[in-house]
Amino acid sequence: MPSKKPPFRAGFVALIGRPNVGKSTLLNRLLGEHIAIVTPRPQTTRTRILGIVNGEQYQLAFFDTPGVHQAKGALNRRMVETALSTLHEVDAALLMIEAGTGPGGRVEIGEGTRAVIAEVARSRKPAILGINKADRVSKQTLLPVIEAYKDLHAWAAIVPFSALKGENVDDLVATLVELMPESAAPLFPADQLTDQAERQLAAEYVREQIMLKTRQELPYSAAVEVEEFDESLRREEGGLVRISALIRVERDSQKAIVIGKKGSMLKEIGTAARLRLERLLGAKVFLALTVKVDERWTEKDAAVRRLVP
């Protein structure tokens, strides 16, 4: 007799953890698209990003969340609140940490990580401990990491993987699928990849390049607003999308950094963002960037609500 087909499962998963553990890299790996911006700097992700992954008998809706950190100021408080509130809206959590040990093979678990684990426990949702960047260490090095974390929570599973290389990501997905409820149908249309509008992705792509190409504290003080997104010529032969974006910074000195000598930095940021947008949109892009000083916007609740949806 043919084996019985497994039930269709669908549900929501929160990707949660400290900054720079690879949550956005994992989401992009799962989607096969660059939806969540990625930089080496902490606190790159500012908002909750939905990414939808479809399989033969499952649909997983992942929420990529800002890294949980000690929040100071309106912007950082909003980021942490967004991450932690997501735990109560999902069917399961994937708490991500990095593989590796400290001097002498010790595993040091910081208070910040312990606080995130406590929030996961408080949510009462099934949780997997995902040990990312496993490609960087030997299997012998993974064992003390697993041993140090295994009793900190009643994990549904502990899964080492590499979001960057894709190693063991399929097993991670299969483990998550088993935690999802059975569903009569998918939660989202099969062709929907994310909840991020192209306009918002354009703003994020510009901010990504600011973070990659500028120095010092500037990336944390920069926000991008798309003021115009004109795709009226997109469907014509050799289609074109016109985008105008405003970069907000907090000081004149930061404005000078973004613009650069004779506009060189702004041109570099714009060129890199435009090329990525053209791949996403499948059309030529005309991208115009301007820079404005909005003093201390990261400390103002109203400005944060406007600039970080």
- First vs last Cα of the chain: how many Å apart? 53
The CATH fold of domain 198-307: GMP Synthetase; Chain A, domain 3 (3.30.300)
Tokens of 56: 């033969």
Q: Say whether 198-307 and 9-177 share the same fold.
A: no
pLDDT at 167: 96
Residues whose CB is less than 8 angstroms from the CB of residue 71 and which lie 6 or more positions away in sequence, other chains included: 77, 79, 80
Tell me: the pLDDT tens digits for 15-50?
999 988 999 999 999 999 999 989 888 878 888 999
Domain definitions of the chain by residue range: 9-177, 198-307
Tell me: the pLDDT tens digits for 99-118?
876 666 788 898 889 999 99
Tokens of 241: 């999308």
β 9-17/92-98 pair status? parallel
Q: Look up the CATH number of domain 9-177.
A: 3.40.50.300
Pick the residue with more confidence: 55 or 309?
55
How would residue 267 be classed by pLDDT, with cut points 50, 70 and 90?
very high
Tokens of 158: 């502990």
**Entry pTM:** 0.90
pLDDT at 307: 80
What does each C-alpha distance from 79 to 42, 296, 303 come to in angstroms? Answer: 12, 17, 14
Residue 237 has pLDDT above 70, yes or no: no
Pair 16, 23: CB distance under 8 Å:
yes
Tell me: the pLDDT tens digits for 123-139?
999 999 999 999 988 88
Mean pLDDT, range 6-18, rounded to an integer:
95
Q: How many CB atoms lie within 10 A of CB 243?
A: 26
